[in-house]
C-alpha cells in the first residue's frame, strides 16, 4: 500500500555544513523525503546558511519544497556571571528562523552574516537581541528546542526572565512565533515541556513539534558521537563533553505522529509553517558593479579603450600580422564580449591590473585561455600577443558554451593584498569578499581522527592510515582502499577495534572538517554582498568570505575574480632590484624568447624555480623532448 502524503514536515535538518556536527547529506535527505512522501523539509544549520542554495536546488529537483532557515546562537542581553572563563560562550541559547519571503531571506542572510562579522575575534558566532529587533520582518521564529534560549532559562529556573524574553519575541514576530517542543528523551526536555505548554496557552502562541536530526538513521549514532568528539578534540569515553541522544536521527512521519499523539496540533503546525514559507534561495544571472557613466555604456567604453590601446600596443611591439588583422580580430572579440554581456568584466579586470602595474606590483604575463584574447592583450590584462602564438579567443569565450570569463591573474605573493585593498577601496568594503572553501574528512584523515577519539595506540592508527593509498590527483575512498589493500582487510577481520574504527570512519568520510577561504577567488558585487549571499569571517582574515562555495556563489549571481599570489613573481622582482643595485638594469619584457643558452639549460632539466616547469615530472619531460622554441614549451 502506497504511503499517503505526510502531515509532518521535518523543520530542523542539519547538513554537513554544520561542521563536525551535522551529518545528513543533502542528496540523501532528498531521497528519504521522497520515499516517505514528505512534501517539504527545513534547513537549520548552526549559525550559517552555507547550504541554502545547494539545499534549495537539490530538494526542488526531487520534488520537495525547501524551507530555508538557520539556527542562530543569541545573546539576549542578560548579565553574565562574574568570573566566567575568557573563552566561554557569550550567548544564552539558540533561536530558529525561517524565511517566509524575499524580505525574510534577506534578513536571514543579514543575521547569519552578523553572527560572524559583528563578534569579537575570540568569541563564537552569535547574534544579539538588538540584531533580531532590526531584522525580524518576513521571518518565522521557533523558540529553539532543548538548546533554545527560552528552554535554557526555564531549566535554570529563571521563569520571569523567560517570560520577558518570550514577550520580546512575541512583540517582534507577532503571529510568526511558535513555541517548539522536542522529545528526544533528554531530562531537560522532559522537565520544561509542561512550562512551555503553559507559556503557549498563557500567551496564545501556537506549539510546533520538531525532531532535531543530526544524522539520518539510528545506526549512525555511534559514528556521530565520534564526530562530536572529533569536533571538541576529546575522546568518546570522556563524560564531560557534548552528547546527543540516539533519538537525534531523522524520524519518520509515523514515528513523529505517534510521539506527539497527545498534541496532534503540534504536528499539524509543521505543515502550516511549510505553507507559510514560500521562498527558496534564488539563482541569478551574473551581477557586476557598473563601470559605465552617463555619457557612455560599458560596451562603448570597452570598445573605445581597447581600440586606442591596441594602437599603442602595435607601436610598442613588432606585429606578427598586418594591422588590419589585429583590428579585425579585436572587433570580432568585442562583438562576442558584448553579445554575452561581459564588457564590464573586462573593464574591471583591466582597471585593477593597470593600477597594480602603475604601483610597481609585479603582474604575470597571463596564462590559461584568457591569453587568447586580443582585447585582453590591448588592455594589458595579458602580455602575450595571441596572433603571434596562434591562440584562439573561442577557448576563452564562446557563445555556444555559456560560461563566465575567468582570467587567472598572477600577482607578486607579497603585494597581492595591496591589489585586493585597492578593489575594496574602489567598490566598498561591503561589496568585496573572498570565497569560502571546505576541507573534508578524507580517507587517511578520517582514519586518524577516529582512531584518536577511540584512544587506539598512535602507532597502530598511523600504520592503518598509511595502508590507505595516497594519490592527491585521484584520491582513493576508504571503501576502495579496503577493497584494494589485503592488509587492511586482514586487520579488519582479525581485530575488533580496527573493525569498529573502519565502520565509524566509513560513515564519517566525506563530511566537512573545517572552513577556510579559497586561495585566489574574490567576488565583487554591485551592492552590499550581504544582500546577495550570507557572509562568513575566517578568524585568520580581516576580509569577509561568502558562505557559498565557488560553485554556488556563481549560481547566486556573483562573479569570481582570481587574485593569485605567485612566489615566482616575487623572486623575479627581488632579482631585478638586486641587479639594479649593481648597476645592471634589465627590462624583463624585452628578454628574447629564442635564447639558445636558456633552452640548453631547459634541455638538461635545469628548471628549478621556473613556474610550472620545476616539478620532477616536468623536468623529466624537458629532458625527453629537449624543447628549442617557445612554441614547443
All domains of the chain in start order, with CATH: 26-213+250-276 (3.20.20.140), 298-437+520-526+554-568 (no CATH), 439-514 (1.10.10.1600), 592-633 (no CATH)
Q: Is the pLDDT of residue 101 over 90?
A: yes
Give the DSSP letter of residue 381.
S
Q: Give phi and psi for 74, each to the nearest 5.
A: -135, 140
pLDDT average, residue stretch 349-357: 96
pLDDT average, residue stretch 228-249: 94
Who contacts 421 (Cβ-Cβ below 8 Å, separation ≥6)? Answer: none
Identify the residue with better confidence: 30 or 239: 30
Among 76-90, 113-127, 156-170, 603-617, the range with the most confident prediction by mean pLDDT is 156-170
Q: Is the pLDDT of residue 2 over 70?
A: no
Identify the residue with better confidence: 216 or 408: 216
Identify the band that residue 405 occupies on the pLDDT scale cut at 50, 70 and 90: confident
Q: Is the pLDDT of residue 123 over 90?
A: no
* Residue 31, C-alpha cell as written in the block: 531521497
CA angle 441, 217, 279 (to 5 degrees): 80
Distance CA 250, CA 217 (A): 6
Identify the residue with better confidence: 43 or 581: 43
Q: Is the pLDDT of residue 375 over 50?
A: yes
| Residue that the C-alpha cell 543575521 belongs to | 111
pLDDT average, residue stretch 50-65: 97
CA angle 265, 170, 213 (to 5 degrees): 50
pLDDT average, residue stretch 526-541: 93
Q: Do strands 535-536 and 177-181 pair parallel, antiparallel, or not at all (unpaired)?
A: unpaired
Q: Which long-range contacts (CB under 8 A, 24 or more apart) does 326-331 make?
A: 326/374, 326/387, 329/374, 329/386, 329/387, 329/393, 330/306, 330/374, 330/375, 330/378
Residue 291: what pLDDT? 79
pLDDT average, residue stretch 181-203: 96
| Residue 568: count of CB within 10 angstroms of its CB | 17
C-alpha closest to that of 169 among 126, 193, 205:
205
pLDDT average, residue stretch 505-527: 93
C-alpha closest to that of 354 among 370, 378, 337:
378
- Going 47 to 52 to 54 to 59, the CA torsion angle's sign is positive
Identify the residue with better confidence: 295 or 209: 209
C-alpha closest to that of 256 among 244, 243, 269:
269
Q: How far is CA 199 from the centre of its chain?
A: 39
Residue 84: what pLDDT? 47
Q: List pLDDT tens digits, range 205-226.
A: 999 999 999 999 999 999 999 9
* Residue 579, C-alpha cell as written in the block: 641587479
Q: List pLDDT tens digits, range 438-459.
A: 999 999 999 999 999 999 999 9
Minimum mean pLDDT range among 21-30, 186-195, 390-399: 390-399
Q: List pLDDT tens digits, range 456-503.
A: 999 999 999 999 988 777 889 999 999 989 999 999 999 999 999 999
Q: Is the pLDDT of residue 19 over 90?
A: yes
Residue 631: what pLDDT? 81
Minimum mean pLDDT range among 26-35, 82-91, 161-170: 82-91
Residue 408: what pLDDT? 87
Q: Do 376 and 366 contact (CB within 8 A), yes or no?
A: yes
Q: How much is the mean pLDDT over the chain?
A: 92
Residue 479: what pLDDT? 93
pLDDT average, residue stretch 399-422: 88
Q: Is the pLDDT of residue 88 over 70?
A: no
What string of H, E and C letters represents the secondary structure of 272-330? HHHHHCCCCCCCCCCECCCCCCCCCCHHHHHHHHHHHHHHHHHHHCCCCCCHHHHHHHH
C-alpha closest to that of 350 among 375, 374, 380:
380
pLDDT average, residue stretch 91-117: 96
| Residue 233: count of CB within 10 angstroms of its CB | 9
Identify the residue with better confidence: 336 or 405: 336
Residue 115: what pLDDT? 96
Distance CA 28, CA 35 (A): 11
Q: Do 553 and 523 contact (CB within 8 A), yes or no?
A: yes
Who contacts 410 (Cβ-Cβ below 8 Å, separation ≥6)? Answer: 363, 364, 367, 564, 565, 566, 569
Q: Is the pLDDT of residue 82 over 60?
A: no
Residue 633: what pLDDT? 77
Identify the band that residue 104 occupies on the pLDDT scale cut at 50, 70 and 90: very high
pLDDT average, residue stretch 521-541: 93
Identify the band that residue 192 occupies on the pLDDT scale cut at 50, 70 and 90: very high
Residue 89: what pLDDT? 59
Distances (CA, A) of 191 to 95, 206, 274: 19, 20, 29
pLDDT average, residue stretch 238-245: 91
For 2, counting Cβ atoms within 10 Å of its Cβ (0-12 exposed, 13-18 middle, 19+ buried), the class is exposed
Amino acid at each position: 500500500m502506497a504511503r499517503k502524503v505526510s502531515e509532518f514536515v521535518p523543520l530542523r535538518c542539519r547538513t554537513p555544513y554544520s561542521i563536525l556536527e551535522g551529518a545528513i547529506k543533502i542528496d540523501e535527505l532528498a531521497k528519504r523525503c521522497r520515499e516517505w512522501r514528505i512534501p517539504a523539509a527545513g534547513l537549520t544549520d548552526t549559525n550559517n546558511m552555507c547550504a541554502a542554495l545547494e539545499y534549495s536546488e537539490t530538494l526542488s529537483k526531487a520534488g520537495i519544497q525547501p524551507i530555508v532557515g538557520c539556527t542562530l546562537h543569541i545573546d539576549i542581553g542578560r548579565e553574565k556571571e562574574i568570573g566566567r572563563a575568557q573563552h566561554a560562550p557569550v550567548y544564552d541559547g539558540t533561536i530558529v528562523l525561517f524565511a517566509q519571503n524575499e524580505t525574510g531571506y534577506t534578513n536571514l542572510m543579514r543575521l547569519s552574516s552578523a553572527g560572524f562579522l559583528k563578534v569579537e575575534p575570540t568569541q563564537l558566532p552569535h547574534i544579539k537581541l538588538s540584531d533580531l529587533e532590526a531584522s525580524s520582518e518576513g521571518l518565522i521564529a521557533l523558540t529553539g528546542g532543548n538548546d533554545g534560549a527560552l528552554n535554557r532559562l526555564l531549566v535554570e529556573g529563571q521563569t520571569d526572565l523567560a517570560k520577558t524574553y518570550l514577550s520580546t519575541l512575541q512583540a517582534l514576530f507577532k503571529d510568526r512565533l511558535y513555541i517548539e517542543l522536542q522529545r528526544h528523551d533528554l531530562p531537560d526536555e522532559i522537565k520544561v515541556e509542561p512550562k512551555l505548554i503553559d507559556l503557549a496557552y498563557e500567551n496564545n502562541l501556537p506549539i510546533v513539534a520538531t525532531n532535531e536530526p543530526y544524522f539520518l538513521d539510528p545506526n549512525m549514532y555511534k559514528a556521530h558521537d565520534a564526530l562530536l568528539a572529533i569536533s571538541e578534540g576529546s575522546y568518546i569515553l570522556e563524560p564531560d563533553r557534548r552528547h546527543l541522544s540516539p533519538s537525534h536521527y531523522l524520524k519518520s512521519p509515523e514515528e513523529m505522529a505517534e510521539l506527539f499523539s497527545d498534541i496532534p496540533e503540534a504536528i499539524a503546525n509543521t505543515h502550516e509553517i511549510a505553507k507559510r514559507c514560500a521562498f527558496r534561495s534564488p539563482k541569478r544571472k551574473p551581477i557586476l558593479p557598473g563601470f559605465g557613466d552617463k555619457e557612455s555604456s560599458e560596451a562603448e567604453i570597452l570598445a573605445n579603450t581597447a581600440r586606442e590601446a591596441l594602437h599603442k600596443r602595435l607601436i610598442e611591439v613588432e606585429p606578427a600580422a598586418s594591422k588590419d588583422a589585429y583590428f579585425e580580430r579585436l572587433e570580432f572579440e568585442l562583438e562576442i564580449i558584448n553579445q554575452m554581456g561581459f564588457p564590464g568584466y573586462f573593464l574591471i579586470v583591466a582597471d585593477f591590473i593597470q593600477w597594480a602595474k602603475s604601483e610597481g606590483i609585479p603582474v604575470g604575463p597571463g596564462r590559461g585561455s584568457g591569453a587568447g584574447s586580443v582585447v585582453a592583450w590591448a588592455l594589458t590584462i595579458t602580455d602575450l600577443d595571441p596572433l603571434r602564438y596562434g591562440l584562439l579567443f573561442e577557448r576563452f569565450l564562446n557563445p555556444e558554451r555559456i560560461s563566465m570569463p575567468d582570467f587567472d591573474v598572477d600577482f607578486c605573493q607579497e603585494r597581492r593584498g595591496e591589489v585586493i585593498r585597492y578593489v575594496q577601496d574602489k567598490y566598498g568594503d561591503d561589496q568585496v569578499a573572498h570565497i569560502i572553501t571546505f576541507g573534508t574528512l578524507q580517507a587517511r584523515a578520517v582514519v586518524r581522527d577516529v582512531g584518536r577519539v577511540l584512544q587506539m595506540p598512535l602507532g597502530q592508527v598511523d600504520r592503518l592510515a598509511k595502508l590507505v593509498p595516497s594519490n592527491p590527483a585521484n584520491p582513493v575512498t576508504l571503501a576502495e582502499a579496503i577493497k584494494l589493500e589485503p592488509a587492511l582487510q586482514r586487520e579488519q577481520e582479525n581485530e575488533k577495534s580496527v573493525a569498529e574504527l573502519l565502520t565509524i570512519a566509513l560513515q564519517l568520510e566525506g563530511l566537512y572538517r573545517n572552513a577556510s577561504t579559497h586561495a585566489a577567488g574574490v567576488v565583487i558585487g554591485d551592492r552590499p554582498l550581504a544582500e546577495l549571499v550570507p557572509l562568513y569571517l575566517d578568524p585568520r582574515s580581516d576580509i569577509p568570505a561568502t558562505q557559498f562555495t565557488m560553485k554556488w556563489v556563481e549560481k547566486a549571481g556573483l562573479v569570481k575574480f582570481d587574485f593569485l599570489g605567485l612566489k615566482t613573481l616575487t623572486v623575479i622582482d627581488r632579482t631585478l632590484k638586486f641587479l639594479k643595485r649593481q648597476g645592471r638594469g634589465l627590462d624583463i619584457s624585452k628578454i628574447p624568447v629564442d635564447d639558445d643558452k636558456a633552452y640548453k639549460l631547459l634541455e638538461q632539466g635545469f628548471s628549478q624555480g621556473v613556474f610550472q616547469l620545476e616539478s620532477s615530472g616536468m623536468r623529466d619531460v624537458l629532458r625527453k623532448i629537449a624543447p628549442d622554441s617557445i612554441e614547443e614549451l
